[in-house]
């Protein structure tokens, strides 16, 4: 019997081709399996999670993405007869009085001023909360739903009549926090409450750090603590979501939190 100690060139090439095909099939199976394992987590982390309730028309923007730069809506509030939506101040790109429209040219509202503290070191900007007011255009006001926060998969949260917004002193380590930034519902716990005084950033007397993972696009979103209106997402600190308290910010801007469906105003009647 003759031992095969070598292969012809064509036979060798054929064997190599078969091996490459087998390797390709194996790698494809591995990649598909890895994708099947990882994709659900990636989708949950970066896309909208499953909603539990339908949207209103016009939609409730408190807690949801708003067609302004980098921001989610915070809470509805009232400035005398005007309906205001809080937006992250660090997302504001316009001066007070500037009219803002969406990509289709439809009016959204008019920018107001940033929350600001006058008692501040020279050359720095100090604020009680990372919010700016956005006076909504009449057609953007969800009359009958102004005391709601849309937490996406977490459902609508109703702010009971007379509920005060939480201040820094009302929030404690261990309290339960909930957010829905980027329409991705998450919950966690408060892990620190302290001043925020980075040298190259706005100075805040109070910043609340949570153990909730944060991502680009969470800015300005409503934060509920123990089921109560507590603040809006302000910073990424070590990959964790940090927010500034609501009460101090609203007081600074002269705003009253909406705790009734029409925010104690009379909605316009259609002719």
pLDDT for res 53: 87
Q: What is the DSSP string of 242-259?
A: EEEEHHHHHHHHT-EE--
Task: Say which residues have a Cβ less than 8 Å from residue 216's Cβ, sequence separation at least 6.
Answer: 70, 236
pLDDT for res 50: 80
CA 253/CA 151 separation, integer angstroms: 25
pLDDT for res 47: 47
CB 233 within 8 A of CB 71: no
Q: What is the pTM of this model?
A: 0.82
pLDDT for res 51: 82
Two tokens, residue 142 = 């969800």
User: Nearest 5°: CA angle at 72, between 264 and 263?
Assistant: 0
Per-residue pLDDT of the chain (271 residues; tens, 9 = 90+): 223 233 344 444 555 445 556 555 455 544 444 444 334 444 444 445 788 789 999 999 999 999 887 789 999 999 999 999 999 998 877 789 999 999 999 999 999 999 999 999 999 999 999 999 999 999 999 999 999 999 999 999 999 999 999 999 999 999 999 999 988 999 999 999 999 999 899 999 999 999 999 998 899 999 999 999 999 999 999 999 999 999 999 999 999 999 999 999 999 886 5
Q: In the CATH hierarchy, which top-level class contains the domain 76-257?
A: mainly beta
CA 231/CA 250 separation, integer angstroms: 10
Angular region, 219: left φ>0, alpha ψ -120 to 50, beta rest: beta
pLDDT for res 216: 87
Rg of the chain over all Cα atoms, to the nearest angstrom: 26
pLDDT for res 271: 55
CA 256/CA 254 separation, integer angstroms: 7
pLDDT for res 45: 46
User: Nearest 5°: CA angle at 85, between 83 and 88?
Assistant: 155
Domain ranges of the chain: 76-257
pLDDT for res 21: 62
pLDDT for res 4: 24
Two tokens, residue 49 = 């999670």
């Amino acid at each position: 019997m003759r031992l095969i100690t070598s292969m012809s060139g064509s036979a060798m090439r054929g064997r190599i081709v078969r091996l490459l095909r087998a390797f390709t099939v194996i790698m494809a199976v591995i990649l598909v399996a890895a994708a099947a394992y990882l994709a659900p987590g990636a989708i949950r982390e970066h896309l909208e999670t499953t909603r539990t309730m339908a949207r209103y028309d016009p939609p409730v923007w408190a807690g949801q993405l708003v067609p302004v730069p980098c921001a989610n809506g915070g809470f509805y509030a009232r400035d005398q007869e005007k309906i205001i939506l809080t937006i992250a101040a660090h997302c504001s790109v316009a001066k007070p009085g500037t009219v803002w429209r969406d990509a289709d040219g439809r009016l959204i509202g008019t920018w107001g001023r940033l929350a600001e503290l006058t008692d501040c070191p020279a050359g720095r900007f100090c604020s009680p909360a990372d919010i700016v007011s956005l006076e909504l255009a009449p057609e953007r006001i969800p009359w009958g739903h102004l005391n709601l926060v849309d937490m996406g998969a977490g459902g609508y949260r109703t702010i009971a009549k007379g509920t005060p917004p939480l201040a820094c002193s009302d929030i404690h380590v261990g309290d339960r926090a909930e957010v829905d930034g980027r329409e991705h519902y998450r919950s966690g716990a408060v892990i620190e409450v302290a001043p925020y005084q980075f040298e190259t950033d706005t100075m805040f007397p109070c910043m609340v750090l949570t153990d909730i993972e944060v991502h680009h696009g969470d800015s300005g979103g409503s934060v509920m603590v123990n089921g109560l209106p507590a603040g809006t997402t302000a910073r990424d600190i070590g990959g964790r979501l940090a927010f500034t308290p609501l009460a101090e910010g609203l007081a600074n801007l002269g705003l009253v939190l909406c705790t009734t469906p029409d925010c104690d105003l009379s909605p316009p009647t259609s002719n």
